[in-house]
Amino acid sequence: MHIAAEKIGKKYRKEWIFRRVDLTLTAGNSYTFVGPNGSGKSTLLQLLAGSLPTTEGTLTYSLQDKALEADDWFRYVTIAAPYLELVEELTLDELLTFHQTFKPFVAGQTPETIAEKLWLGHALDKEIKYFSSGMKQRVKLGLAFFSSSPIIILDEPTSNLDRQGMNWYQEQIQQLIAPLNPLPRLLLIGSNQPEEYDFCPNVIDITQWK
């Protein structure tokens, strides 16, 4: 699985957020996009996820060297971001069950086992709207970590996490990128916090495309 970006750019009204972005992103690797607040990290991640259109340039998605239709790309991507809300009227059990109908979990995982991994086994029957901000963030991340999607996108992944939550995040990331992981992923991160991506060998400053 890989993504190829050729001279892509995004403009809102008359302002270019970035231009002439050339990238090749390949499964089995992790990439972190850094830059000041407002530099376009989230926008670029949304373009790569297929949830925003480019203003210029070409994005190509490939699986086993076969090009994928852009309309099918969402099936391969799971994203966790502050601007994506959970369905708060659902219980955790209902949310996890609903999620796996269109983004299956990795083999052997069930809503019950995932809730335990989220430290939320006691809250399976609790509605999401009653969760703390840190609990909600672990749920968002868990939906990405434990999905079988080959592409995982994390934007500001430790927002609202305390120190314990940060330790949990780092533990899950290490399992995700482990060399012996049977499901190699393409991991993309948008961050300004080094402890969110200190494991990542590919750190890309988005200001080069301003």
Paired with 6 in beta bridges are 58
Write down the pLDDT at residue 73.
Answer: 82
* Helical pair 163-176 and 133-145, crossing angle rounded to 10 deg: 0
Segment 20-78, tens digit of pLDDT: 999 999 999 999 999 999 999 999 999 999 999 999 999 999 988 888 887 788 888 99
Task: Lowest mean pLDDT of 10-24, 65-79, 111-125, 192-206, name the range.
Answer: 65-79
pLDDT single digits (tens) 140-199: 999 999 999 999 999 999 999 999 999 999 999 999 888 767 778 999 999 999 999 999
Residues 4, 24 contacting (CB under 8 angstroms):
yes
* Euclidean distance between CA atoms 144 and 158, whole angstroms: 13
Over residues 2-9, the mean pLDDT reads: 95
The full length of the chain comes to 210
- In whole angstroms, give the CA distance from residue 104 to residue 179: 22
Q: How confident is the model at residue 109 (pLDDT cuts 50, 70, 90)?
A: very high
pLDDT computed for residue 68 by the predictor: 85
AA identity, residue 171 = E
- Structural domains of the chain ordered from first start: 2-209 (3.40.50.300)
Is there a contact between 54 and 47 (Cβ–Cβ < 8 Å)? yes
pLDDT of residue 24: 96
Distance, CA of 59 to CA of 67 (rounded, Å): 11
User: What is the rounded average pLDDT of the residues 82-110?
Assistant: 94
| Residue 71, pLDDT score | 75
Question: In the structure, what pLDDT confidence band is assigned to residue 9 with cuts at 50, 70 and 90?
Answer: very high
Kindly give the residue spans of alpha helices, DSSP state H, lying in the chain. 41-49, 92-100, 111-117, 133-145, 163-176, 194-197
- What is the β-pairing status of strands 186-190 and 30-34? parallel
> How high is the pLDDT of residue 44?
97
